[in-house]
């Protein structure tokens, strides 16, 4: 198994990106009235097809009932995330599941509300230690934790219940240690998913996270 990911700044010529998309995909994308979202989706689809290593319009992208992107005619699992002028896309062999997420480090969060509704008591301690160890602000650390959780729930493809996932530690190389609630473990067991790895990277502007699970 080898995951492929690509982080793209939306500075590419739009017509070049559109040339990778089928007419069906373009019609679907242009149904939205949000111009910014249209560009994000075009660049996301383009990036996904670039990861396949071939320019093809036969490998269309559609969405499941839960909003998960799906490749047609390709034996890969796919995940897409976009924020402002960046898109982050990941694909992995069909024997695995992938979830990716990208967030802006300067995202405006209500810290007290976020901590109350998104973090477990154990995570509050982990956040404090993480900030002290890495010399970063609480607000930035919260965005990092949020991104990790987003990628995880995208991978499992279930309702986003942040307190059912507790981030215990983030190691220097970006590997993430977590604890799951009993209910979340049951969901993963029913879907025959086992955690392969969870990683996060961040710089001054963006955080991007990836979760990969093995299908049992």
Same domain, 107 and 139: yes
pLDDT at 54: 65
d(CA 65, CA 46): 22
CA-only gyration radius of the chain, Å: 18
Name the strand (E) or helix (H) holding 145: helix 138-156
Per-residue pLDDT of the chain (216 residues; tens, 9 = 90+): 578 898 887 667 889 889 889 888 899 899 988 888 898 899 999 999 888 876 666 778 888 888 899 888 788 999 999 988 889 999 999 999 999 999 998 877 888 999 999 999 999 999 999 999 999 999 999 999 999 999 999 999 999 999 999 999 999 889 999 999 999 999 999 999 999 999 999 988 999 999 999 998
Question: Exposed/middle/buried for 123, CB within 10 Å: 0-12, 13-18, 19+?
Answer: buried
d(CA 125, CA 92): 34
Same domain, 111 and 76: no
Same domain, 167 and 184: yes
Q: Of 70, 94, 118, which marks where a domain is finished? A: 94
CATH number of the structural domain spanning residue 18: 3.90.470.20
Task: Please check whether residue 111 is in contact with residue 142, taking contact to mean a CB–CB distance below 8 angstroms.
Answer: yes
Same domain, 208 and 125: yes
d(CA 149, CA 155): 10
d(CA 180, CA 183): 8
Domain limits for position 15: 4-94
d(CA 163, CA 183): 11
DSSP 8-class letter at 11: T
Distance of CA 169 to the CA centre of its chain: 19
CA atoms within 13 Å, Cβ hemisphere of 80: 22
d(CA 71, CA 58): 10
């Amino acid at each position: 198994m080898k995951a492929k990911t690509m982080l793209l700044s939306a500075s590419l010529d739009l017509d070049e990106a559109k040339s990778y998309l089928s007419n069906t995909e373009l019609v679907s994308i242009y149904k939205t009235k949000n111009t910014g979202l249209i560009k994000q989706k075009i660049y996301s689809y383009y990036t996904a097809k670039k990861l396949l290593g071939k320019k093809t319009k036969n490998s269309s992208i559609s969405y499941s009932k839960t909003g998960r992107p799906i490749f047609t005619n390709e034996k890969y699992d796919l995940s897409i995330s976009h924020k402002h002028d960046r898109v982050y896309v990941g694909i992995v062999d069909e024997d695995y599941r992938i979830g990716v997420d990208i967030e802006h480090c300067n995202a405006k969060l209500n810290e007290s509300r976020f901590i109350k509704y998104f973090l477990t008591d154990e995570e509050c301690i982990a956040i404090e230690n993480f900030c002290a160890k890495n010399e970063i602000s609480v607000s930035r650390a919260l965005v990092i934790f949020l991104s990790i959780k987003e990628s995880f729930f995208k991978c499992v493809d279930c309702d986003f219940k942040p307190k059912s996932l507790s981030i215990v530690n983030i190691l220097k190389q970006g590997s993430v240690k977590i604890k799951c609630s009993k209910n979340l473990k049951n969901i993963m067991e029913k879907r025959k998913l086992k955690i392969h790895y969870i990683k996060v990277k961040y710089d001054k502007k963006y955080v991007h996270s990836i979760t990969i699970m093995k299908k049992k």
